[in-house]
Copies of this chain bind each other. A is one copy, B any other.
Amino acid sequence: MSRPTKLHPDRGDARTRLLTAAVDLIRARGFAATSVDDLCRAAGVTKGAFFHHFASKEALGVAAAWHWAETTTAFFAAAPYHAPPDPLHRVLAYVAFRRAIVSDDITESSCLVGTMVQEVHASAPAIRDACAASIFGHAATLEADIGAAMDDRGIVADWTAASLARQTQAVVQGALVLAKAGDDPALARDSLDHLDRYIRLLFSVAAPVPGGAGESGVRPEALATGLPA
């Protein structure tokens, strides 16, 4: 039962507008530094509407984390890295995709739940758990492909598919921290290159030769973005 607002009838209902505003502002400034008034202003909504949809600022934080989980799930489900028939190639294509979507403005490529959870992990358990669900839920989507790749190649190791899936997320999060600190997205890309190298070493697959004429290695990054080069 949503309804266009009186002030900005063209921008959809107030709730989703508040959530998208929350994603943008919190990623840029953090949760605590983003005030309810800021959110209302950005969403073109009054304070009354805010507290009609969310019982508190913390409730907005929880909802924003869930909203983030939903939108990113849809985004990655539609991404082209699922195309290769070989599961290992899909995993490598995932890493290449993550690398490709690191934009020049780090805030844009930043992760809402990764930013929030560091701030609130001790003070707001509800938000923390919602962030955890987003991060580990996304990691879980990689687990099947990693596991299948292990089976395909008969790999028995002291690490599990779930553990490596989590490690991809750890590297992504750490890459963003360094990129923000150094104010340079290349730092994040560098980290993801190391992740790519690690996975290739685990599975003993060669990296592509950059200037090579022939095909000497696996190149799942070719379909990283799904866009024509």
Contact = CB atoms under 8 A, between A and B. Distances in A.
Instruction: Point out which of A118, A158, A207 has the most chain B C-beta atoms below 10 A from its C-beta.
Output: A118
Contact of A173 (B33, B120, B178, B201): B178
Interface stretch (A70-78, A84-92, A129-137, A148-156): A129-137
B172 A30 contact: no
A65 to B, nearest CB: 10
Contacts of A117: 177, 180-181
Contact of A166 (B32, B107, B187): B187
Interface string A137-170: 0000000000000000000001100011011011
A114 interface: yes
A135 B202 CA distance: 28
A194 B28 contact: no
Contacts of A197: 159, 198, 202
Nearest to A207: B158
A32 B135 CA distance: 24
A9 interface: no
Contact of A28 (B122, B128, B171): B122
Interface of A: 28-33, 106-107, 113-115, 117-123, 128, 131-132, 135-136, 158-159, 163-164, 166-167, 169-178, 180-183, 187, 190-191, 193-194, 197-198, 201-202, 207
The 4 A-B pairs of least Cβ separation, nearest first, read: A174-B174, A170-B174, A32-B32, A30-B119
